[in-house]
């Protein structure tokens, strides 16, 4: 990377560009114009647009992972509340971000079936998100808040995959669908919780 360009700033700009334009609608010319890089510097640093996207996806995944950990870290609140607030908060910021959704989800939707390399990197980020959320789901199961007939990893995958679907729908309709996560968590609640034992 040329000393003239701050790699972190270039990657951050890349996040914004891919988020707004997607992959196919974003050319190297625009990337260079927006980041201030020459084509030579861009190809020297990132080898090409696809490799730049892979770097950007990983950086975005790290950013979201930190956000998830922070959101779920308040152990004074019941785990079911932490889960509910996590997903609601991620939906409530969508109007501010002009309903851009999640970059990982967007790239999985746009390129997942077409590009196995991008699919693998995006899928690894999704898996990372699931691994961060799963301990909270497990705690909710252990506390009797969520049904424990499914293992916690599978339940987390169901919840987060549903959330990605909600994000896709929210992005296309420009409408928040807050009730779906609430309904899903209610559906997954432990049906025996709160019942008096004889």
pLDDT in tens, 39-57: 999 999 999 999 999 999 9
CA 176, chain centre distance (Å): 16
pTM: 0.91
pLDDT at 196 exceeding the cut of 70 = no
Average pLDDT across the chain, whole number: 92
Tally the C-alpha atoms within 13 A of residue 43's C-alpha that lie toward its C-beta.
6
Q: In sequence order, which residues have a C-beta less than 8 Å from that of residue 87 and are 6 or more positions away?
A: 159, 163, 181
Residues 165, 55: Cα–Cα separation, whole Å: 24
What is the per-residue burial (b if ≥16 Cβ within 10 Å, else e) of 9-39?
ebbbbbeebbbeebbeebeeeebbeebebee
Residues 198, 194: Cα–Cα separation, whole Å: 13
Residue 193 pLDDT: 58
Please report which confidence band the pLDDT of residue 164 belongs to, taking 50, 70 and 90 as the band edges: very high
Residue 11 pLDDT: 96
Residues 38, 157: Cα–Cα separation, whole Å: 42
Please report which confidence band the pLDDT of residue 102 belongs to, taking 50, 70 and 90 as the band edges: very high
pLDDT exceeding 90 applies to what percent of the chain? 90
Residue 163: phi and psi, rounded to 5, are -60, -40
Tokens of 182: 């609430």
- Do residues 88 and 70 lie in contact, with contact meaning Cβ atoms separated by under 8 Å? no
Mean pLDDT computed over 151-175: 95
Residue 195 pLDDT: 41
Neighbouring C-beta atoms of residue 172, cutoff 10 Å: 10
The torsion defined by the Cα of 90, 152, 179 and 61, in degrees rounded to 10, comes to 20
Please report which confidence band the pLDDT of residue 3 belongs to, taking 50, 70 and 90 as the band edges: very low
Q: What is the DSSP letter of 197?
A: P
pLDDT in tens, 47-96: 999 999 999 999 999 999 999 999 999 999 999 999 999 999 999 999 99
Q: What is the DSSP letter of 145?
A: S
At the fourth CATH level, the homologous superfamily of domain 58-187 is Tetracycline Repressor, domain 2 (1.10.357.10)
Residue 67 pLDDT: 96
Mean pLDDT computed over 171-190: 92
pLDDT at 1 exceeding the cut of 60 = no
Mean pLDDT computed over 107-129: 95
Q: In sequence order, which residues have a C-beta less than 8 Å from that of residue 143 and are 6 or more positions away?
A: 78, 79, 80
Question: Which of 78-87, 138-147, 163-172, 185-194 comes out lowest in average pLDDT?
Answer: 185-194
């Amino acid at each position: 990377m040329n000393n003239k360009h701050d790699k972190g700033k270039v990657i951050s700009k890349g996040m914004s560009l891919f988020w707004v334009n997607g992959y196919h609608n974003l050319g190297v010319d625009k990337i260079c114009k927006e980041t201030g890089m020459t084509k030579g510097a861009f190809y020297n640093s990132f080898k090409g647009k696809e490799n730049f996207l892979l770097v950007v996806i990983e950086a975005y995944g790290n950013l979201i992972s930190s956000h998830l950990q922070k959101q779920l870290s308040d152990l004074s609140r019941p785990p079911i509340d932490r889960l509910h607030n996590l997903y609601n908060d991620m939906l409530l910021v969508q109007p501010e971000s002009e309903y851009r959704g999640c970059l990982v989800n967007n790239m999985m939707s746009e390129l997942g079936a077409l590009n196995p390399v991008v699919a693998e990197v995006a899928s690894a980020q999704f898996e990372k998100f699931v691994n961060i959320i799963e301990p909270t789901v497990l705690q909710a199961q252990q506390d009797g808040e969520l049904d424990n007939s499914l293992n916690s990893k599978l339940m987390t995958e169901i919840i987060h995959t549903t959330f990605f679907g909600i994000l896709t729908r929210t992005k296309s309709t420009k409408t928040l669908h807050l009730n779906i996560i609430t309904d899903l968590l209610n559906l997954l609640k432990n049906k025996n919780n709160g019942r008096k034992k004889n």
